[in-house]
Structure 1
Amino acid sequence: MIYIELFYTFFVIGLFGFGGGYGMLSLIQTETVVSHHWMSSAEFTNVVAISQMTPGPVGINSATYCGYTAVHNMGYNDTMAVLGSATATIALVLPSLILMILISKMFLKYMNTRAVKSVFGVLRPTVVGLLGAATLLLCNAENFSLPSVDPWQFGVSLFLFAATFVGTMWLKINPIHMICASALAGLILLY
C-alpha cells in the first residue's frame, strides 16, 4: 500500500537526513524519482520550487508535496492525496522528534566530550557534501533548459544563476531581493 511505503521511505529520510531540508533534497529525489518512480524529475523540480516559495522548512514542505504528488500520480483522488501529504510529513518529522526528546538531556551533559566533538567534526563535511549533491541534482535540463533545445532560455538561466551566486556570495545582497529580481528578469526575458 502506498501509505506504508511513503511512511517508511520518509521515516528513513528523516532519520538519516543530516543537514536540514536542503541536505535531504538529494535523498528525497533519489527515493521519489529514481527508486519508487512516484514522480518525474520535472515534477520533483516543481516540488522543490514550490517548497522554497512557501513558508517553512524546505525538507518538510518537500515531503508534504511529494506525498501528495505520489498518491495523486497513483490515481487516487485529492482527499487520498492529502492523506499522502500528511503521511510523508509526519514520517519525515517523527525521527527528529523522537531523537531530540531522547538525546536532549544527554547532549547537554556530554557535548564537550571528545567523542561528541569527533562525531560533529565528521558530520559537518558530510552535510556540506549533501548540500552540494542537492545543488548538482538540481542543475538539470528542467531548470536550465539545453542549448540545443532553447539557447535563449539556457543563456538566461546561466546568467541568472551566475548573477544570483555572485550577488549573494560576494555582494551580500539579500536573498529575498535576489529571488524577486530573478523572477522579474525571468518574466521580462522569457515571457
Structure 2
Amino acid sequence: MIYLQLFISFLQVGMFSFGGGYAAMPLIQGQVVTLHQWLSMAEFTDLITISQMTPGPIAVNSATFVGIKIAGIPGAIVATLGCILPSCIIVTLLAKLYIKYRNMALLQGVLGSLRPAVVAMIASAGISILVNAFWGSAATISFQGTKWSLVVIFGICLFLLQKLKWNPIGVMVLAGVMKLAVSFAGF
C-alpha cells in the first residue's frame, strides 16, 4: 500500500509541477509534509538542501530521498518513477504538438500565461523555506524567536550572489562554514 501511495503522490507532483524543480517544492511539501506527514517541516527543508546539492532535478532527487526514507530502495524506485512518468509522456506529446503548431498565437498565449503562476509557486516555496529557517515554523514568528545568525548568513550570501556575482557552489560552501563557525561559537 505504501508503494502505491508513494507512486500516486509523486505522480501528482510530476503532473502538476510546471516550471521545474522550484515550482514543484510546494507540491512536494503538500504531499510529504501536510497530507501524508512522511517528513516534518525541518526534514523537508533538509530534503530541499540535499536535493539542490546533488546532481539532477530537485523533484526527482526529492522523490528518491522520500522513497528511500519511507520504503527503502523499492520505495525510491516507485517514487522516482511516479515523478518522472508524467514528464516523459507529456514532453513527448507536447514536442509533437509544438513542432506542428509552434507559430500559433493561441499556443504562445497559453505559454505566456503560465509564467506568473510558476513565479508565484517559486516565491511561495522560497518564503516557506525562509520562515522555517529563521523561525522554525510560521506559528512561531516573533522578533525574539528569530535566529539572527541565520539571517546574517542569508544576507551575506544574498550579497555575494547578487552584488559580487559569486559562484553559487562557493556561496553554499561558505554558508556551511559560517554556520559551523556560529555553532562552535555558541550562537
Specify the code of the residue in structure 2 equivalent to 1:129: A
Quote the residue 2:178 is aligned against: 185
1:130 to partner: Cα distance? 0.9
TM-score normalised to the size of structure 2?
0.88
Q: Take 2:42 and 2:176, find their aligned partners in 1: how far apart are those partners?
A: 19
- State the Cα distance separating 1:103 from its structure 2 match: 2.0
What is the letter of the counterpart of residue 14 of structure 1?
Answer: G
- Runs of at least 4 residues off by over 6 Å: none
Q: Which residue of 1 aligns with 2:105?
A: 114
- Write the deviation string for residues 37-89 of structure 1: whole angstroms up to 9, x where unpaired: 11211111121111112111111101111122233xxxxxxxxx111111111
For the residues of structure 2 that align with 1:181 and 1:39, how far apart are their CA atoms? Answer: 27
In structure 2, the residue matched to 1:49 is 49
Counterpart position of 2:11: 11
* Aligned residue in 2 for 1:136: 127
- Aligned counterparts of 1:41 and 1:111: Cα–Cα separation in 2: 42
Q: C-alpha deviations, 1:153-186, integer Å up to 9, x for none? A: x111001111222221232221111111111111
CA contact (8 A) 1:13 1:24 kept: yes
d(CA) in 2 for partners of 1:70 and 1:111?
A: 42
Q: CA deviation at 1:123?
A: 0.7
Correspondence 1:100 to 2:91: yes
| Partner in structure 2 of residue 74 of structure 1 | none
Give the equivalent residue in structure 1 for 2:114. 123
1:172, 1:64 → 2: CA distance?
32
Match of 2:156 in 1: 163
Q: Give the superposed CA RMSD.
A: 1.6
Unaligned runs of 5+ in 1: 72-80
Listed one character per residue, the Cα deviations across residues 116-151 of structure 1 (whole Å, up to 9, x for unaligned) are 11111111111111110110111234x2356646x6
Correspondence for 1:78: none
Aligned residue-pair number: 178
Matches within 5 A, 1:26-105: 26-71=26-71, 81-105=72-96
The percentage of aligned residue pairs carrying the same residue is 37
